[in-house]
């Protein structure tokens, strides 16, 4: 905050230092920055770990700052998409840092917990912030996680669909625990990405 220093890799990122060097991204091999936002405890890390490593760990591990993971998927049209994922911490003290991670992101996944209405409201707050400060062509996805806990559901599917439609977002309900819809989430995102025009 109060500190400043010369940026060692000033030439690297075009928009900001936390964006990868876009050198090897072409029409067939996309490389995208994805940021995962949402209230604490909605399962952001679980979604990412299920997607990247196929694992689910029920013990809650609070994310500190942000974790960085990447995963490549192949689409049916033989393009590959490498997701470089910033899994951010949901705690209030990190909220001010979020721009650091979503700046320049091509995709933002905003997650909430279907058993927790507060987290749904928090998700709406994130959507507004990204509409204001995110990249203009950012792909937004709204994710209702913990879909396996049907009996504890407090946010209806329709509420999620309605809100997503109103805001031009892609909507899906997932369960990191059962792996339901996790891969679908990322495949759908990949399909919606703007393709760079072949040069």
- Return residues touching other proteins (CB under 8 A): 1-9, 12-13, 16-18, 20-21, 40, 45, 49, 59, 61-69, 87, 89, 91-94, 97, 100
User: DSSP string covering 70-106, please?
Assistant: EEEEE-TTS-EEEEEEEEE--SGGGGGGHHHHHTT-S
Question: Closer CB to other proteins, residue 20 or residue 129?
Answer: 20
- DSSP character at residue 180: B
CB of 179 to other proteins, least distance (A): 18
Nearer to other proteins by C-beta: 6 or 199?
6
CB 185 within 8 A of CB 110: no
Judged by DSSP in three states, 174 sits in: coil
Nearest approach in angstroms of CB 39 to other proteins is 10
Instruction: Rank residues 118 and 162 by Cβ distance to other proteins and give the closer one.
Output: 118
Least separation in angstroms between residue 165's CB and other proteins is 32
Given the complex with other proteins, which of 82 and 153 has the nearer CB atom? 82
Q: How far is the CB of 51 from other proteins (least distance, A)?
A: 12
Q: Judge contact between 118 and 42, C-beta under 8 A.
A: no
Q: Least distance from C-beta 100 to other proteins, angstroms?
A: 6
User: For other proteins, which is the closer residue by CB, 56 or 170?
Assistant: 56
Q: CA quadruple 180, 83, 101, 196: dihedral positive or negative?
A: negative
Cβ–Cβ under 8 Å, residues 170 and 110:
no
């Amino acid at each position: 905050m109060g500190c400043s220093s010369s940026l060692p890799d000033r030439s690297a990122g075009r928009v900001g230092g936390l964006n990868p060097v876009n050198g090897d991204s072409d029409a067939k091999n996309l490389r995208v920055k994805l940021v995962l936002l949402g209230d604490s405890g909605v399962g952001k890390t679980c979604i990412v770990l299920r997607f990247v490593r196929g694992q689910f760990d029920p013990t809650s591990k609070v994310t500190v700052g942000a974790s960085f993971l990447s995963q490549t998927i192949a689409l049916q049209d033989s393009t590959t998409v490498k997701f470089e994922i910033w899994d951010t911490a949901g705690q209030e003290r990190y909220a001010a840092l979020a721009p650091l991670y979503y700046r320049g992101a091509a995709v933002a996944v905003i997650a909430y917990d279907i058993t927790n209405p507060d987290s749904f409201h928090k998700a709406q707050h994130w959507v507004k912030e990204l509409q204001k400060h995110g990249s203009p062509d950012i792909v937004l996805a709204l994710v209702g996680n913990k879909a396996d806990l049907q009996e504890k559901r407090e946010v209806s599917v329709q509420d999620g669909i309605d809100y997503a439609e109103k805001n031009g977002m892609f909507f899906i309900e997932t369960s990191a625990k059962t792996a339901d819809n996790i891969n679908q989430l990322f495949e759908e995102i990949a399909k919606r990405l703007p393709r760079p025009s072949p040069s």
